[in-house]
């Protein structure tokens, strides 16, 4: 039911002066498939030309995922049985010993570490995050450049993070409290210690190793690469390129560690991760999303992203004062990125103003910005640390990705960006 229909419905209601309630009542009694809840609540929807950002709701689930969620929602099932069966299948797909669906990569980090700390000891599970006097370990080692904000997931277990730079540092930092050696793939080229060396250090000292690959497909091979390399725990997001539920992710790894992580996770209460609940529809949806992602024609999908980006580039590259460039990040969010820059004497617009105009136009469009890793951005706003925000303000550029566009939306993005640049041209 659209707004006009709601208003039409109103005219036949008695004039009690209670119009807002009448509107609500009319909307609420409409069949769900005819309701536009976004419109009812005044929530802006938009074309996502920025990327898989949590604050923009991440991704649009694959059609098959939505269908599976719909088809499974009408039945009860035991959560542990769903996790058992789904975990077994996912493990086969990603070449790991075991796997479970979590409420995101962040949750996988907390749960994976919780499992390392507690093993199958239920008393320890209930003691987390209080580690003192329990005999549990309490330190996670990672390279200084790999100590990103997402490591907060480890702090939730009561552990602290110890930073190192060289292999020698690791050898010195390891002690009886060391629980985990953690690696962040998105900055793999920024630390002195490489993947294989990290795994070898873990094996040498008999300490589990983990890797955060939350935003690291494509390439699809990353789904099994790090399991095969010997990492004991691998964390990935379900709601990024895999296009599963936004509130899902996967923890993959060694059988005993996954079993211990399961002990720390719902349906069991009284654990640090009770709040990491994933319902059966999402667990099954995550499984199907992964299956569909693996079955994708990845070359074809990549070509499609390139074509969309080229379409937008072609629409603006001839304009006076405009330069465009297409880049592909080496690690993390690997997809073609179009950077559009302009000469401020010829186009009177800042990057921020262009993004605002796209956001406030019809239809609304979110474009990306800056060259910083996407995970620096904070909820609901473009700004981050005051220092970073300062560097963003002055830049005459927008960055556009095409992987979260729905088919055909590249035409709208191309037209709107061109329009705004032309309007601001002197
Ligand atoms: C997105 C991301 C996370 C968090 O993943 P969620 O699935 O949203 O919990 C963790 N680490 C990195 C590097 C990420 O990009």
Residue percentage of the chain with pLDDT more than 70: 88
Average pLDDT estimate for 65-78: 98
Residue whose entry in the numeric block shows the structure tokens 């930092």: 173
Question: What is the length of the chain?
Answer: 426
Cα 2 to Cα 39: distance, rounded to the nearest angstrom = 8
| CATH, residue 95 | 3.40.640.10
* For the CA of 54, the nearest atom of ligand 1: 8
Task: Say which range, 129-143, 197-211, 347-361, has the weakest mean pLDDT.
Answer: 347-361
Range of the domain at 390: 298-423
Residue percentage of the chain with pLDDT more than 90: 81
Residue 46 counted as domain residue: no
- Nearest alpha carbon to residue 59 among 369, 381, 353, 333: 333
Residue 13 counted as domain residue: no
* Boundary of a domain, candidates 295, 316, 344: 295
Give just the sign of the alpha carbon dihedral 256, 259, 264, 270: negative
Cα 296 to Cα 303: distance, rounded to the nearest angstrom = 13
pLDDT digit string (tens) for 158-203?
Answer: 999 999 999 999 999 999 999 999 999 999 999 999 999 999 999 9
Residue to substitute in 55, 100, 104, 146 for testing ligand 1 pocket (most ligand atoms within 8 angstroms of CB):
104
Residue 119 counted as domain residue: yes
Q: Is 375 in the pocket of ligand 1 (CB under 6 A)?
A: yes
- Clarify whether residues 303 and 409 are in a common domain: yes
Using 50, 70 and 90 to split pLDDT, how confident is the model at 22? low
- Clarify whether residues 256 and 391 are in a common domain: no
- Clarify whether residues 203 and 318 are in a common domain: no
- Nearest alpha carbon to residue 227 among 201, 250, 259: 250
- Clarify whether residues 69 and 103 are in a common domain: yes
Q: Is 244 in the pocket of ligand 1 (CB under 6 A)?
A: no
Distance 223 CA to ligand 1 centre (A): 15
* For the CA of 186, the nearest atom of ligand 1: 13
Residue 356 counted as domain residue: yes
* Boundary of a domain, candidates 234, 266, 295: 295
pLDDT digit string (tens) for 101-125?
Answer: 999 999 999 999 999 999 999 999 9
Using 50, 70 and 90 to split pLDDT, how confident is the model at 420? very high
Q: Is 316 in the pocket of ligand 1 (CB under 6 A)?
A: no
* For the CA of 373, the nearest atom of ligand 1: 15
* Boundary of a domain, candidates 249, 266, 295: 295
End-to-end CA distance of the chain: 44
Half-sphere CA count of 312, side-chain side, radius 13 A:
30
Which of 1-10, 21-30, 216-225 is most confident?
216-225
pLDDT at 24: 65
386 pLDDT above the threshold of 90: no
Q: Is 105 in the pocket of ligand 1 (CB under 6 A)?
A: yes
* For the CA of 374, the nearest atom of ligand 1: 15
Q: Assess whether the previous peptide bond of 129 is cis (omega < 30° from 0).
A: yes
pLDDT at 31: 83
Using 50, 70 and 90 to split pLDDT, how confident is the model at 6? very low
**Atom 5, ligand 1: which residue's CA is nearest?**
105
Using 50, 70 and 90 to split pLDDT, how confident is the model at 389? low
Q: Which residues of 358-372 are buried (b: 16+ CB within 10 A; e: fewer)?
A: beeeeeebbbbbbee
- Clarify whether residues 327 and 400 are in a common domain: yes
- Clarify whether residues 412 and 302 are in a common domain: yes
382 pLDDT above the threshold of 50: no
Using 50, 70 and 90 to split pLDDT, how confident is the model at 55? confident
Average pLDDT estimate for 55-79: 97
Residue 180 counted as domain residue: yes
14 pLDDT above the threshold of 50: no
Bin 68: left if φ > 0, else alpha if -120 < ψ < 50, else beta: alpha
Residue to substitute in 215, 217, 243, 275 for testing ligand 1 pocket (most ligand atoms within 8 angstroms of CB):
215
What value does the mean pLDDT of the chain take? 90
Residue 326 counted as domain residue: yes
- Clarify whether residues 409 and 325 are in a common domain: yes
Q: Provide the CA 229 distance to its chain's centre, in angstroms.
A: 24
- Clarify whether residues 282 and 354 are in a common domain: no
- Clarify whether residues 263 and 407 are in a common domain: no
pLDDT digit string (tens) for 300-352?
Answer: 999 999 999 999 999 999 999 999 999 998 998 999 999 999 999 999 998 88
- Clarify whether residues 271 and 326 are in a common domain: no
- Clarify whether residues 282 and 175 are in a common domain: yes
| CATH, residue 378 | 3.90.1150.10
pLDDT at 352: 86
- Clarify whether residues 393 and 273 are in a common domain: no
Residue 6 counted as domain residue: no
**Atom 8, ligand 1: which residue's CA is nearest?**
104
Residue 364 counted as domain residue: yes
Query: How many domains, the chain?
Result: 2
């Amino acid at each position: 039911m659209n707004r006009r229909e709601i208003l039409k419905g109103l005219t036949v209601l008695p004039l009690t002066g209670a119009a807002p309630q009448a509107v609500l009542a009319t909307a609420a009694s409409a069949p769900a498939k005819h309701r536009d809840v976004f419109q009812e609540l005044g929530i802006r929807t938009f074309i996502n030309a920025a990327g898989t950002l949590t604050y923009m709701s991440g991704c649009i689930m694959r059609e098959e995922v939505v269908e599976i969620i719909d088809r499974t929602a009408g039945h009860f099932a035991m959560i542990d049985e769903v996790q058992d069966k789904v975990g077994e299948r996912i493990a086969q797909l990603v070449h790991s010993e075991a796997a479970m669906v979590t409420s995101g990569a962040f949750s996988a980090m907390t749960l994976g570490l919780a499992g390392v700390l507690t093993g199958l000891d239920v008393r320890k599970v209930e003691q987390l995050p209080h580690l003192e006097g329990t005999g549990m370990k309490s330190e996670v080692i990672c390279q200084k450049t790999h100590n990103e904000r997402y490591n907060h997931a480890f702090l939730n277990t009561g552990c602290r993070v110890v930073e190192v730079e060289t292999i020698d540092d690791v050898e010195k930092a390891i002690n009886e409290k060391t629980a985990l050696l953690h690696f962040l793939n998105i900055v793999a080229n920024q630390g002195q210690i490489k993947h294989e060396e990290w795994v070898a250090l873990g094996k040498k000292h008999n300490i589990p190793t983990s890797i955060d690959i939350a935003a690291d497909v494509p390439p699809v091979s990353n789904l099994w690469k790090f399991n095969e390399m010997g990492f004991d725990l691998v964390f990935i997001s379900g709601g990024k390129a895999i296009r599963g539920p936004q509130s899902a992710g996967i923890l993959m790894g060694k059988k005993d560690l996954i079993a211990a992580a399961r002990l720390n996770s719902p349906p069991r209460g009284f654990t640090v991760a009770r709040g990491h609940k994933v319902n059966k529809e999402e667990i099954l949806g995550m499984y199907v999303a992964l299956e569909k992602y693996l079955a994708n024609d990845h070359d074809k999908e990549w070509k499609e992203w390139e074509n969309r980006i080229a379409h937008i580039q072609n629409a603006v590259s001839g304009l006076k004062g405009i330069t465009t460039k297409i880049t592909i990040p080496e690690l993390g969010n690997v997809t073609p990125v179009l950077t559009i820059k302009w000469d401020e004497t010829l186009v009177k617009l800042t990057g921020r103003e262009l993004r605002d105009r796209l956001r406030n136009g019809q239809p609304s469009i979110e474009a990306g910005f800056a060259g910083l890793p996407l995970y620096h951005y904070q909820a609901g706003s473009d700004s981050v640390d005051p220092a970073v925000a300062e560097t963003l303000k002055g830049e005459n550029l927008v960055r556009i990705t095409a992987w979260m566009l729905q088919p055909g939306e590249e035409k709208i993005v191309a037209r709107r960006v061109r329009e705004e640049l032309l309007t601001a041209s002197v």
